[in-house]
Amino acid sequence: MTFAARITGVGRYVPDRVLTNLELETLVETSSDWILERTGIRERRIAAPHETTSSMGAEAARRAIASAGIEANSIDLVITGTCTPDGLFPAAASRIQHAIGATHAGAFDVNAACMGFLSALSTGSQFVATGAAERVLVVGAETLSRIVDWTDRGTCVLFGDGAGAVILERGVAGEPGALHGLQLRSDGSQAGLLYSDGPCSTPVEGLEREAKIMMDGRAIFRHAVTLMCDSATEVLQRAGLSVDDIALAIPHQANLRIITAMSERLGLPMERVFVNVDRYGNTSSATIPIALAEAEEEGRLKPGDHVLFASFGGGLSWGAMVIEWAGVGSRRALAAPARTATA
């Protein structure tokens, strides 16, 4: 029997603290109108002092678990896409696994910057498709506000904090809801265009390196539009689909101008493109799962819809995926009761 992974639960969490463009005017030399014109962002969420990537990820995970109608101890694996874990180790995924009570699950992180969620989702889908796992929790979570240079108006206006999560569940190939097309790519020669140093970076005599986001915005814009469109086109071809078959595109929410340019180049009307960058800014690995959960909440997805994910980030890394939406709710919730800690 050939297995396939499908999404059966979604969840999201964003902090309560809202940082508006008007507030940013008091922190750095910029204006609300300039930010809105250049990025499409009006506000972003900032984690409270007690919140971390893993605590936000755990809350998004709980909501995804409730959405699927399953128990946490029926999850076999937790994968978290993040570039801002609570610390170098243990993995944020391990902290999330403990916080939600996924007592039978393995756990590890994937760091591919803004491509983290798609990389984690593709990894989880392979565990399911090979039969190695029956249920996988995939989380995208970031606390970017703690590595933003609040004196750099070119970057500090862009980023926010939050988390999103999905439940992947084993199904039979050919059943509704399969993940159809996938492409992951990277060009490490361009790593200097978007990066953040850390405590293990090459030592510089007399200097202590700080983990701050560094970005060549113009170069990133040029690469992002071209490479996301190329990936989207390729995965559609692999899936035997056309742009007309896509009910909703959920691109990485980095910048409204990038999203609009991608839409125009693909010939995909903006009414079929999900946008929430205006409210949350760029939450890196969390943008796509947050948007997916919101799209489900707003009734913008129905069973049988083909949904296109496309993302781009540091690495440089980029990729795309097509899924068939089957609706939330586990078909196996009754057939496979939750295991106990003594099982």
Catalytic residues, by residue number, are 114, 252, 282
The strand pair at 317-324 and 179-186 is best described as antiparallel
Check: CB of residue 273 under 8 Å from CB of residue 251. Answer: yes
Find, among 139, 156, 146, 172, the residue nearest to 54 by Cα: 139
Question: Largest alpha-carbon pair distance within the chain?
Answer: 62
In DSSP terms, 138 is beta-bridged to 79, 166
